[in-house]
Amino acid sequence: MAGMRKRFSVCFSSSPYEQGESLYDSTFIPDAPNDPQHPHASLLCCHRVQDSLLSSNSSFTGYRGVLNWIIILLVLTHAHLFLENFIQHGFLIDVTKVLEHLVEDNCSWPSVYLILAANVFVLAALFLEKAVLSPSTGQCLHLANLLLLLVFPAAVIIHEPTISTGGALFSLWFYTVLAMKLHSYQQTNLWYRQAAGSDPDWNVPDKEEAQDERPTFQELYYFLLAPTLCYQKHFPRTPKVRINKLLHRLLEMVILIQIMVGIVQQWIEPIFQRSEKSFSDMEVTMRVEHLVGLAAPTHFLWLLFFFLSHSFLNFCAELLRFGDRHFYGDWWNATNLMAFWENWNVPFQKWCHRHVYALLAERNVTPRRAELLVFLMSAALCECAVALPLHCCRLWILLVMLSELLVAVFLGGSFQGNYGNGLVWLCLLLGPPLAVTTYFHDHYVSSLQLRHLQSSSLLPAGPPSSQQTH
């Protein structure tokens, strides 16, 4: 037997089992001719110890063909759904209808004036940075400026009836981002001044260099336009603007917006039209039926919104030659919700870690409690950013995000690897995007009922007999 092993060792290729395994010790190797120049020597051994490709012990990772098959299957399946929808409802896509949610009464454009008024708060922040104030006084004035910055758009959205839904949403999101940027601007400049006061080498002896280090109008507005929420003195810059990349990103945004409008008008709006009540007033079975019908289009809309954000942020970065373009991580490979939250929106996570989590840690708040406070702040921020412009507060987004937190805490250890990634995708399918859609559903139903009331009030009154009979 040893002789046979020596003669035919060439027949057995290397395998993971050869190291640390004793499988070959019990494997029977048939005899063969002694002549190494046998004409069929290379054909005698055609088997070796190996795993099936789809087994858990295999290190095989080439699943690109399976991914292509899934994509084709999804496209064909949802093409069938679109065809059924087209046969039932006809062609509903009309881009001009989008303008109804953007154009405001009498062309007064309160949302445009609201956005232009934000320059007052920006200039106030710049003036406070240039003024020679004590740290406590300057910080109090900055906090007052930020408080007015947050209260002002909310008051206008609530008390201004002519502002459109799209204008209210965009204005509030714009002011929210601006508040985060100005807070980072003030806090970072404070750190720069503290570093200059504690380190003698930090002070610049040259007057021209010292003048360059002072806050400037151009520097502030570059930061406000840059695709980041965290301020620093000198941002990494690319050598030049690539026009082909700009046009590529612009084309992507136009195509993605068209597809998103098509999904909303052709797929989601017919589901809204079948509703006569809000979700809070529906029966449980009807509510589940609507949620199941909205799950797929909402999920596709959310994915398209991610790609739109990718194109928009890279467009701004290319236009401004902004070098740091790490806007997201590989959240699609996240095996738990914590990893997804860290990689889904990297600029927001950087801001939270830099200006909330780190400051809480300095005040001896435990890491778990600090993470919980940051999560609650982000959940409340998402709730207000959607509920306030739509004039309805259901707390659904907040509750769904809290339920996801419970899933991450109690089920994160049980679902790991591929199972954990599947749980993440399930939470994305039935999570905050679907809760946001329910807000728009109730807003659509309430606006439709208001239109019916307004149209019925404009109808002429019928004869008394008909009214009494009615």
Same domain? For 221 and 251 the reply is no
Same domain for 148 and 276, yes or no, is no
Domain membership of residue 109 (yes or no) is yes
Cα 315 to Cα 200, 238, 249, 322, 469: the distances in Å are 41, 13, 6, 10, 64
- Position 450 scores a pLDDT of 76
Q: Is residue 90 part of a domain?
A: no
| Residue after which a domain boundary falls, among 172, 194, 225 | 225
**Statement to judge: residues 283 and 353 lie in one domain:** yes
Range of the domain at 6: 2-37
pLDDT value of position 274: 84
378 in a domain, yes or no? yes
pLDDT value for 282: 86
Residues with Cβ within 8 Å of residue 252, at least 6 apart in sequence: 307, 308, 311
Report yes or no on 231 lying in a domain. Answer: no
Q: Are the beta carbons of 290 and 441 closer than 8 angstroms?
A: yes
Same domain, 115 and 205: yes
Q: pLDDT of 115-135, one tens digit each?
A: 999 999 999 999 999 887 787
Instruction: Tell me which long-range contacts 51-60 makes (C-beta under 8 A, separation of at least 24).
Output: 59/16
Q: Report if residue 9 sits inside a domain.
A: yes
Residues 167 and 271 in one domain: no
Structure pTM? Answer: 0.80
Is residue 328 domain-shared with residue 434, that is, in the same domain?
yes
Q: Is residue 454 part of a domain?
A: no
The structural domain count of the chain equals: 3
Residues 10 and 454: their CA atoms lie apart, in Å, by 89
Task: Give me the DSSP letters along 164-195.
Answer: -HHHHHHHHHHHHHHHHHHHHHHHHHHHHHHH
Q: How far is CA 18 from CA 24, 31, 198, in A?
A: 8, 21, 62
254 and 378 belong to one structural domain: yes
Confirm whether 469 is domain-assigned.
Answer: no
With a cut of 70, list the residues of the chain below it in pLDDT. 1-38, 40-41, 89-108, 197-213, 454-470
Q: Are residues 328 and 290 part of one domain?
A: yes
pLDDT for 46 equals 78
* Domain identity same for 284 and 369: yes
The answer on 176 and 131 residing in a single domain is yes
Measure the CA–CA gap between 268 and 271, rounded to whole angstroms.
5
In degrees to the nearest 10, what's the CA dihedral of 426, 427, 431, 432? -130
Block residue for tokens 């947050």: 150
Same domain, 283 and 409: yes
Distance between start and end Cα atoms, the chain:
103
Does residue 109 share a domain with residue 31? no
Per the domain annotation, does 281 fall within a domain? yes
pLDDT score at 100: 62
Burial of 153: CB neighbours in 10 Å, binned 0-12, 13-18, 19+: buried
Burial of 200 (0-12, 13-18, 19+ CB in 10 A): exposed
